[in-house]
């Protein structure tokens, strides 16, 4: 029934004219098949879905990481759960094929920040587990943080925010997501030297200009 509903939704809502697949040579059916496999993996692993209690889905959370309120964070928790042993669990769902190492998960910043927010908003003092569902390879991963690790995360995050706020020149830096970027054609990292010096007539650097129905910052 779950797969039937999924296929029905795909037929009704997928619009090839509105969805652009940037990975060359990849057809929509590749994603359709992967989606079905993810649903099947999750269903078979967790059926009959009575192992925990859902407290929130796509729960929006706002919190601060300092007493003065100088550093404010907001995010969305995929699923907030009360486990059978009484612990709170912060669940995140991933569709990538690659599963990070335990060391990488143990240093993950996102869910640990959510833990800070959950403890702040709900006054939770008990155990909290961070849980990742890698639904495509069907892997379930967990991690926990000590109070000392959370304190260091607060300080490290504040330092990152300070560095961002003090930045005056945003130099481009090539990375694995560059090929997915809609602004690659105007990025100094990819434009030819003779093109980089050319600027639209009457436009000053730093002004927002609408080009091809998109707002771009020169």
> pLDDT > 70: what percent of the chain?
88
Q: Which residues contact 185 (CB under 8 A, 6 or more apart)?
A: 191
Q: Can you name the residues that pair with 11 across neighbouring β-strands?
A: none
Alpha carbons 184 and 9: distance in angstroms, whole number: 33
Confidence of residue 216 (pLDDT cuts 50, 70, 90): very low
pTM: 0.79
Measure the CA–CA gap between 81 and 17, rounded to whole angstroms.
38
- Asked if 80 and 130 touch (Cβ cutoff 8 Å), the reply is no
The pLDDT confidence band at residue 8, using thresholds 50, 70 and 90, is very high
Q: What pLDDT is stored for residue 218 in this prediction? A: 30
Burial (CB count <10 Å: 0-12, 13-18, 19+), residue 38: buried
The pLDDT value recorded for residue 23 is 80
Decide if 108 contacts 134 (C-beta within 8 A). no
**pLDDT band for position 180 (50/70/90)?**
confident
User: Regarding beta strands 88-94 and 128-134, do their DSSP bridges make them parallel or antiparallel, or are they unpaired?
Assistant: parallel
b/e burial code for range 146-183 (CB count within 10 A of at least 16 → b)? eeeebeebbeebeeebeeeeeeeeeeeeeeeeeeeeee
């Amino acid at each position: 029934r779950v797969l039937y509903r999924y296929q029905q939704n795909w037929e009704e809502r997928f619009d090839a004219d509105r969805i652009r697949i940037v990975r060359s040579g990849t057809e929509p059916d590749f994603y359709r098949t992967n989606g079905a496999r993810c649903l099947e993996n999750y269903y078979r692993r967790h059926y009959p879905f009575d192992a925990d209690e859902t407290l929130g889905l796509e729960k929006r959370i706002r919190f601060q990481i300092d007493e003065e309120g100088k550093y404010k964070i907001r995010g969305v928790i995929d699923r907030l759960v009360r486990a059978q042993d009484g612990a709170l669990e912060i669940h995140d769902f991933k569709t990538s094929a690659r599963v990070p190492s335990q060391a990488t998960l143990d240093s993950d910043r996102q869910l640990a920040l959510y833990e800070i927010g959950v403890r702040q908003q709900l006054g939770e003092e008990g155990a909290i587990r961070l849980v990742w569902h890698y639904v495509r390879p069907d892997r379930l991963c967990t991690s926990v943080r000590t109070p000392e690790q959370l304190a260091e995360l607060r300080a490290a995050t504040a330092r990152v925010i300070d560095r961002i706020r003090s930045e005056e020149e945003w130099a481009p830096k090539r990375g694995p997501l560059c090929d997915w970027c809609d602004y690659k054609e105007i990025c100094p990292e990819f434009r030819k030297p003779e093109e980089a010096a050319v600027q639209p007539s009457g436009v000053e650097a730093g002004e927002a200009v609408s080009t091809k129905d998109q707002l771009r910052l020169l």
